[in-house]
Amino acid sequence: MTPKNQTHSPSRKPISHMKQLFKEQHILMMLLKEFRDGILICDQQGLILQVNPSLRNFLHLSEEVSGREVTQVIRNEPFHDLLGAVLATGNSCVEEITLVEGPSPEMFFEVHMVPIFIPVLGENDLPETQAEPGQTVNGCVIIFHDITDIRKTEKMRRDFVANVSHELRTPLTAIEGYSETLLDGAIDDQTVCRDFINVIYRHSLRLTQLVEDLLDLSKLESPDYKPDFTPVSLQTLIQQAFVLVQDKAVEKEIKISVTVQEPLPLVMADSSSLQQVLTNLLDNAIKYTPTQGEVSIGVYENSKGKIQVDVKDNGIGIEGKHLSRIFERFYRVDKARSRDMGGTGLGLSIVKHIVQLHGGEIWVDSKVNEGSTFSFTVDPQPV
Ligand SMILES: Nc1ncnc2c1ncn2[C@@H]1O[C@H](COP(=O)(O)OP(=O)(O)OP(=O)(O)O)[C@@H](O)[C@H]1O
Ligand SMILES: [Mg+2]
C-alpha cells in the first residue's frame, strides 16, 4: 500500500493508482484462492460479492453465487442473525456454527465476521483502513474456519470414555454385589458360595479381557508403534490360531477346515499381530455359529496380487444395516448376547487396526441365518 505521506506528480497519479489498485486486487484474489479457510464477502444488503474456492468446496457450490443473497446460499438461522447484527452494528464477531450442506454430514465452523467500512474518497484522498466512529457498514468479510475434525475427535473421545466406563461398571457392580452377599452370610452355604465365586471369577475374567483389549488398542493407535515386519508363513499362523480356539470349537462340535493355495508365498507381517487377527476372526466365527456348524479358512493369491484370507462360517450372520459399523470400537449387533459370551466388542476394531497397519484391507459379507465371511488381505514377501 502507498504510504500516506508519499508525494505524487499530479499527471502520473491516476496511472499509478490504477496500477496499485490492480496489484492489490491481484494479491487479494490470490489470497482468496489459496486460503484453506472458506471466505465470503458480501455487501451491506447481504448480497454476495466473492466466495473463495474453499468455501465453494465446503458448501458443494457448483453454480455462480455472486449477486445472490447470502441467506439463500447458506441456509442457517443463527448464521443469518449473526450477519444481520454485524451489518447493523458494525461490530465484528466470532461464533461457532454447524452446517449441513448437500450429501455431507454435519460440518462445524468457527465463523469470523468482520465488517467492511469504505470511506468516501476525495480527489487526493488515499483509502483508510480504520473505521471512523459512526460510519455506516458497507459489507462484511466472513471467514469459515473448519473445525469439524476437532469436534469429531472430541466426540469420539467422549463416546469412548462413556463406553469404557459403562463396560467397566457392569462387571464391577456384579463383583461388588456378589461379594457383599457372600460376606452377609451366603458364604456359609457351600453350594451358593461356589456359584457366587464362579460368577465373580467370570466377571473378573471379563475385566481382564477388557483391559487387555484396551491396552492392545492403545498400542496399535500409538504413533510410536511400529510393527515388526518379517517374512511369515500364514499356514503356521493359522495352525497356532487353531490351537488357541480348538477347545471352543470342540465344545460346540464345530468343524474347522483350512484350504491353502499351493505354493503360497510367505507374507510380510508382524507375526504376533497377524496371529491375533486370525484368532479373533476364528473366535468370532465359532462364537456366532450354532452347535455343529462349519467354519472354513481359505488362503490364496487374489487378482490384485495380494494374499487374501477368508474366514467363513455358516452361523447367525449379520443384518445389512450393521455391516458398516461392525468394525467400530464397542459396536455389537446384540449387546446383551455378546456380553453374556464374555465379549467386549473390541475384537474387530483391533483386527481392523492390525490389517490397516499392514497396508491391507478388511471387509465382511454376511446374510442373516446363512453365515458370514470376513476377508482380509496382506502383502506377499517381495520376490
Ligand atoms: N462371524 C460373525 N457372525 C456374526 N456376527 C459377528 C461375527 N463376527 C462379529 N460379529 C458381530 O460383530 C460384533 C463385534 O465383533 P467383535 O469381535 O468386535 O466383538 P465381540 O465378539 O462382541 O467381543 P470381543 O471383543 O470379545 O471379540 C459382535 O458382537 C457380533 O455382533
Ligand atoms: Mg469378537
Measuring from atom 10 of ligand 1, which residue has the nearest CA? 284
**Which one, of 263, 310, 258, 252, lies nearest residue 286 by Cα?**
252
Whole-number Å distance between alpha carbons of 354 and 227? 9
User: pLDDT, tens digit, for every residue of 209-257?
Assistant: 999 999 999 999 998 998 999 999 999 999 999 999 999 999 999 999 9
- Listing DSSP states for 166-228 in one string gives HHHHHHHHHHHHHHHHHHTTGGGSHHHHHHHHHHHHHHHHHHHHHHHHHHHHHHHH-TT----
Structure confidence at residue 16 (pLDDT):
77
Report CA(270)–ligand 2 centroid distance (Å).
Answer: 20
> From atom 9 of ligand 1, which residue's Cα is the shortest distance away?
284
User: Which residue from 121, 118, 120 is spatially nearest to 129, judged by alpha carbons?
Assistant: 118
**pLDDT (tens digit, 9 = 90+) per residue, 70-91?**
999 998 999 999 999 999 999 9
Segment among 111-120, 142-151, 343-352 with least mean pLDDT: 111-120
Model confidence at 22: pLDDT above 90: no
Does the pLDDT value for residue 275 go beyond 90?
yes
* Closest residue CA from atom 28 of ligand 1: 332
Mean pLDDT of 119-138: 62
Looking at the chain, the whole-number percentage of residues with pLDDT higher than 90 is 74
CA 337 to ligand 2 center in whole angstroms: 12
Q: Which domains are present in the chain?
A: 14-146 (3.30.450.20), 148-225 (1.10.287.130), 227-383 (3.30.565.10)
What is the CA angle 71-75-79, rounded to 5?
A: 75
Supply 44's cell numbers. Answer: 451491506
pTM: predicted TM-score of the whole model, two decimal places: 0.75
What one-character DSSP code corresponds to residue 47? B
Q: How far apart are CA 288 and CA 298, in angstroms?
A: 19
- Checking if the pLDDT of 190 tops 80, the result is yes
Could you tell me if the CB of 267 is within 6 A of ligand 1? no
- pLDDT at 3 (0 to 100): 44
Nearest to residue 217, comparing CAs of 338, 363, 349?
349
- Is residue 1's pLDDT more than 60? no
Cα-to-centroid distance, 75 and ligand 2 (Å): 44
- 31-42, pLDDT tens digit by residue? 888 889 999 999
